[in-house]
Structure 1
Amino acid sequence: MTSDRDTFLPDCCSAEGLLPLLVIAELVAVILALAGLGGAESFWRDLFLLSIYIQWVGICSAGVLCAIRRHLGAAATWRIAAVSYAALLLVVTALAEVTYSAGRYTGIAPLVADVDHAGFLARNLGVGAIVAALGLRYFWLRDQWRRQAAAELSARYQALQARIRPHFLFNALNGIVELVATRPQVAEQALEDLSALLRAALADGDARLVPLSEELELTRAYTDIEALRLGDRLRIEWDIAPEAGSWPVPPLCLQPLVENAIAHGVARLPEGGRVYVQAAVADGCLTLTVVNPMPAEPSGESGRRLALDNIQQRLALRYGAAARLWRQAAPGRFEVSMRLPRPSEGNR
């Protein structure tokens, strides 16, 4: 069995994929009932009978498309379209034959009362051919639109992620520059640490998610470099729930928050301070929280906003409204939190 992820056919095995087919079927029933040009009583009777008949055709067609999607999902588009079109016409023909043969003895007799066998089959096959062609065309166009939208979102996400990496690099280098004149050996060690840090940060340029443990490793490497510069003025407290380590998160989502906490908080205080980093899992979501002390007169807020706005935009592209980023400022204290849902397997 091949993968069905690349086909333009909807997943008719699910309610989400079945619904468009049933809507199309009902629209066809309404159009055919209106085409009867009978009175009000005839219209409602015809609509009821046609709805039952055509919805049955729609359900059977959904089953056929579901099987085609599962078994031909990786085939060429033209092949999937040709097989689907032929299969839908076979479904229409088979159900029309059954309806005509049994209809005279059931409640749907009015559908076949005034037409001969050949005429009934030809009419059903003609309508089915037109509706199947339009339906498959609609599904193809919808798939192309979704692919284009996904490509644009991915490109925008990668641009946002690429934008924050130089910011992270410049801040780390500025910290090392301060060590060159006073403690050259420490600066040399910091450069080696930065080299390893950059390899990890630039290892993957796509929009994949990574376990939180990887993001924590990157963040700890950055705090180690800052600790060489700030010494005892910088204290980091890690409060990481054991179950949080495997949670998938966007790369460079936590590190910029800790970077801001150090650059705009601890580093600007003569006595330094403590940065508190928490990761907790509750109600099916991961919450990351970073708390740091703040000087009485904050400055450099544009740099802080750049990182926070960047992360917020990436979260919106990745999760939509399911993720949140919020901040709380109080005298001498700044807190930022991020709430992330667990993504589905296909969105990692």
Structure 2
Amino acid sequence: MHLPDFGTVDEPSPLPDFCSLPVLFTLLVTGALAATVVWLAAGDHRDFSGYSVGILFVSWLALAIVVVLCLLRPWLRCLPGHLPYLAAWLLVMPIVGVASWVAHGLDGALHMNLVSGGTVAFVRDNVLIAALLGAAILRYFYVAAQWRLRLAAVTRAQVEALQARIRPHFLFNSMNTVAALIPLDPVAAERTVEDLAELFRAALGQHEQGDGTLDEELALLDRYLAIEQLRLGERLRVERLLDDLPRDFPLPRLLLQPLMENAVRHGIQPLREGGVVSLRGTRESDAIVIEIANPLPASPARGGNGHGLDSVRRRVAFRYGPRAIVQAGPRNERYVVSLRLPLLDKGDRDARTDRR
């Protein structure tokens, strides 16, 4: 089931986007069903012309309601609590009343005789039906919005838990490297401590909330690789090809680091001669593609339960939506992790940043 767009999850009582096609479609279908039920209840199944005019009237009514609520949505969103829904419900009834009065007048002026009864009864019945259906539809919108809020909160909690699960992994390894360097090369140990401090800041969330940029993520990768270079020496060689990527591309913090850590731990560390870890990026018309590849050792390295890659998958899905793709697997005797991240327009970028 497709739910209408309710805006960002930070709204205390988010209204549906009355300007969107899903909301208009919902009103049209509900109105058509109501008109069909009324036609069937009347028992006159042969009057298809009256039924057709009724569907046309309901469609015109739904369009008028959507236009008015769309224009007034900025004002409605300023109301506190549940008042936006109450105000929207109260606006529906005068719209239906005026439209019904006009329709009854046109029916009499054109002598179509499609509407039985007086103007007052026709307007009254339509307003009552609209009040009942409007309350039901707005209740549906409200429940769906609350469901989306809870889903976003659960997803955010899962992402934070996955982030916390991978933090100690590389931090403790780096601290062991620093301890080994202190008696051998104090200058390198001091530089490593500085790199480690930046990784601590990123991992423990001391930066501003929200996304970082690709350029900032690459800088963190350089610090991480500098630490691992001291531990592995010439066994670790890194190949970079990222010239085509926009360095200001919004990227969740520490998204690439666990992938690079997996490449070093499972692809380079088990090999006595070491190998090359490649970091490549290309830009497509509507997305960027980032690949991290490492050699496939004859026997897999011990340890590791997929938390790093699982975290990346969930964070990418949460941040970029269903258009993002994360693929991982062997390719030409190398293990390749590929991220295809869509280029978001400014509106989508701001909305998704608010969700962090």
TM-score normalised to structure 1 length: 0.88
1:214 counterpart (207, 213, 216): 216
Q: Is 1:56 the counterpart of 2:60 in the alignment?
A: yes
Query: How far apart are 1:313 and its partner, in Å?
Result: 3.0
- 2:263 alignment partner AA: A
Query: How far apart are 1:206 and its partner, in Å?
Result: 9.1
**Paired residues of 1:193 and 1:225 also in contact (CA < 8 A):** yes
Structure 2 unaligned blocks of 5 or more: 1-5
Deviation per CA, 1:243-283, whole angstroms, max 9, x where unpaired?
Answer: 33122222222111111222222233333332211121113
**Paired residues of 1:324 and 1:339 also in contact (CA < 8 A):** yes
**Judging changes above 3 Å, is the alpha-carbon distance between structure 1 residues 141 and 298 closer, same or farther for their aligned structure 2 residues?**
closer
**Paired residues of 2:280 and 2:290 also in contact (CA < 8 A):** yes
In the alignment, which residue of structure 2 is the partner of 1:83?
87
RMSD: 2.5
**Judging changes above 3 Å, is the alpha-carbon distance between structure 1 residues 205 and 322 closer, same or farther for their aligned structure 2 residues?**
farther
- 1:195 alignment partner AA: A
In the alignment, which residue of structure 2 is the partner of 1:13?
19
Bigger shift: residues 323-332 or 65-74: 323-332
Deviation per CA, 1:184-210, whole angstroms, max 9, x where unpaired?
Answer: 443343123201221133335898332
1:71 counterpart (42, 50, 75): 75
In the alignment, which residue of structure 1 is the partner of 2:28?
22
Query: How far apart are 1:94 and its partner, in Å?
Result: 0.5
1:292 counterpart (294, 307, 314): 294
**Judging changes above 3 Å, is the alpha-carbon distance between structure 1 residues 256 and 342 closer, same or farther for their aligned structure 2 residues?**
same
In the alignment, which residue of structure 2 is the partner of 1:270?
272
Q: Is 1:109 the counterpart of 2:108 in the alignment?
A: no
Question: Secondary structure of 2:254's partner?
Answer: coil
Superposition pairs of residues 171-210 of structure 1, within 5 angstroms: 171-203=173-205, 208-210=210-212
Q: Is 1:34 the counterpart of 2:40 in the alignment?
A: yes
Give, in whole Å, the separation in 2 of the partners of 1:172 and 1:147. Answer: 38
Give, in whole Å, the separation in 1 of the partners of 2:149 and 2:111. Answer: 45
TM-score normalised to structure 2 length: 0.86
Q: Is 1:228 the counterpart of 2:230 in the alignment?
A: yes
Give, in whole Å, the separation in 1 of the partners of 2:210 and 2:220. Answer: 16
Question: Secondary structure of 2:205's partner?
Answer: coil
**Judging changes above 3 Å, is the alpha-carbon distance between structure 1 residues 329 and 207 closer, same or farther for their aligned structure 2 residues?**
farther
**Judging changes above 3 Å, is the alpha-carbon distance between structure 1 residues 211 and 108 closer, same or farther for their aligned structure 2 residues?**
farther
Question: Secondary structure of 2:109's partner?
Answer: coil
1:283 counterpart (282, 285, 296): 285
**Paired residues of 1:10 and 1:17 also in contact (CA < 8 A):** yes
Query: How far apart are 1:79 and its partner, in Å?
Result: 2.4
- 1:30 alignment partner AA: T
Question: Secondary structure of 1:120's partner?
Answer: helix
In the alignment, which residue of structure 2 is the partner of 1:341?
342
In the alignment, which residue of structure 1 is the partner of 2:155?
153
In the alignment, which residue of structure 2 is the partner of 1:306?
307
Question: Secondary structure of 1:289's partner?
Answer: strand
- 2:188 alignment partner AA: V
**Paired residues of 1:158 and 1:205 also in contact (CA < 8 A):** no
Give, in whole Å, the separation in 2 of the partners of 1:337 and 1:207. Answer: 26
**Judging changes above 3 Å, is the alpha-carbon distance between structure 1 residues 187 and 4 closer, same or farther for their aligned structure 2 residues?**
closer
Structure 1 unaligned blocks of 5 or more: none
In percent, how many aligned pairs have the same letter? 34
In the alignment, which residue of structure 1 is the partner of 2:131?
129
Query: How far apart are 1:158 and its partner, in Å?
Result: 1.6
Question: Secondary structure of 1:104's partner?
Answer: helix
**Judging changes above 3 Å, is the alpha-carbon distance between structure 1 residues 334 and 4 closer, same or farther for their aligned structure 2 residues?**
closer
Query: How far apart are 1:162 and its partner, in Å?
Result: 1.9
Question: Secondary structure of 1:268's partner?
Answer: coil
- 2:102 alignment partner AA: V
